[in-house]
Structure 1
Amino acid sequence: MCGDRQGVPVTTRTTRGEPRVRLPRGERRALLLEAALAAFADKGYHATAMDDIAERAGVSKPVLYQHFDSKLELYVALAARVCDDIVDTIESALDSTADNGERIGACLHGFFEFVDRPGSGYPLVFNSDMGTDPAVAPLLESAQNRCGEAIGRVLQDETALSWAECVLLGSTLVGMAQSAARHWVESGSSIPLEHAVELVSTLSWRGMGAVPQSPEQVAARAGSENGDAAG
C-alpha cells in the first residue's frame, strides 16, 4: 500500500514479518522536525548531517529526503515553526485579559518561559549564525513584525496614537522582551522568573503610562472616577 490520503496510519510488514506502522505524512514530518531540533541542538547546524537526523528519527535517509530536499529546507521549516509559536504566545497573552498592565505581564511571562523552555527551539533559531541566511532572515523579521503589530492593534484601540506609532511602540516592547529574556537565560536565570517579569513589566508599564489615551478611554476613566466619587 502506498500512502494514506485519509490521514490514517497504514500497517505494513518489515522484512522479518514484524508489524510496522507507516505514519500519516503530517505526523512523520512533525517527528522529523523534532529529530532535527534535537540533532541541531546537540551538534549545531553546520556539524549536523542528514544521516544524523535520519538516525535520530529512526528512518532511512531516503525517507527523510521524501519530506525535505535538504538540511537547509529542514532548518527553515523548523525556524518557521518556532516563529509561529512565538507569535501564538504573544497573541494568546494579549487575549488573556482586558487589563493592559496584565497584558504586558502576560506577554513578558510567556516570552520568558518560551525562551527558557527546553525544546522550544528559540536558541537554535534566534541565537544562531543561520539567522542571517537569506532563507531564514525574513522569517525572523516577519515574526518580530507580527508580534509588534499584535501589540500595536491593542494600542490602537486604546490610545490616541497613529497606527505607525502603535506598531513602533509594539515593536519596541517586543525587542525589550526579547533582550531581557535572553539576558535572563544566558546569565543563568539567577533572578526568579516571576521577579524578573515583574521588574521588566514595571519598566514597560510606566513607560506606556505616558502614552496619550484615546478619547474613549479618557471618557471611560472619567466615568469610573465620577462613579467612585459618588459612591
Structure 2
Amino acid sequence: MVVRCDELYRRVAISVPSLAYTVAPGGGPRLPGSLLTDPEWLSAQVDASARRWGGASRRVAGTLWWYSTSSTLVAGPIVGLLVTGWVPALDDVTFELAHGSVAGVRASRMLGRGPDVLAAAAGPALGAVIAPLARVSGVGEGALRAVASDSVANRALDVARGPAGEALAERVAAVGGLPMPRFVEIPGAGPYLRRSSCCLIYAVPGAASPEVAKCASCPRQRPEVRERRMSGVAMGQRGPA
C-alpha cells in the first residue's frame, strides 16, 4: 500500500517528537522549495543569520544557517523512510521560515520505496542548495557537504541507533557524493556520530571560550577530549551508568 505524504509526516512527528517542527506546518506562509537554490534569496538568509548571531562573518553565518537547514531538509525523508519504507520528494517541496530558520518542509508527492531511492535523490537535491550557498557565503562546498553528511547520519541515528541507521547514512553518502560518516561506539550507550563538520558556533562574536562553546562531538578538539565529552553526554541521556 502506498503511504501518502500526510501520513508519512504524521508518523515522522510521532516517531521523533523533537523533529516534528521539521515537517509540521506552523501556520506561516508556504514558500516554494526553489528559493533554496536561489543565490539572491540565500544571500539574504546569510545576511539575516549574521545579524542573529551578533554580527558573525558570512562564513560563520552561512555555516550555522546550513547546519540547521540541512538537518531540517533531510529529517522528513530519512525518518520517513525508516518508519514507513517510503521516501517523499526532496526537490519538490514547500517550507516555512520560523525565526529565520527553515521549518515545516513538505513534499506533495512520493518518490518511491527503499534506501536506494533516497540515496539517488539526496545528492542532487542537497547539491542544488550547496553550490549557490557556497558562492554567496564564502563557505567551501566541501565543508557544506560535510555538514550535510553529518545531518543525514544524525537523523538516521535518531530512529535507528545501530546497524540500520549507520547503513542508511553510509548508503546516502556513498551515492550522493557526501563524505562518508564515521561512527564511534560509546560503551553502554551505543553508536554515536563522530562528526566531520563544525558548525563554527564557537566563532560567533561574544561566544564563550572555544573549550566551552564547542559541541561535545566537535571535530576541532583533541580526540581524547571529544571522546570524554561525548561519553558524558551519552551517559547523561541514558541516566546513571
- Shorter-chain TM-score tier: 0.3 to 0.5
- Rg: which structure is higher? 1
Larger RCO, structure (CA 8 Å, separation 6 or more): 2
Task: Answer 1 or 2: which has greater strand percent.
Answer: 2
Task: Answer 1 or 2: which has greater helix percent.
Answer: 1
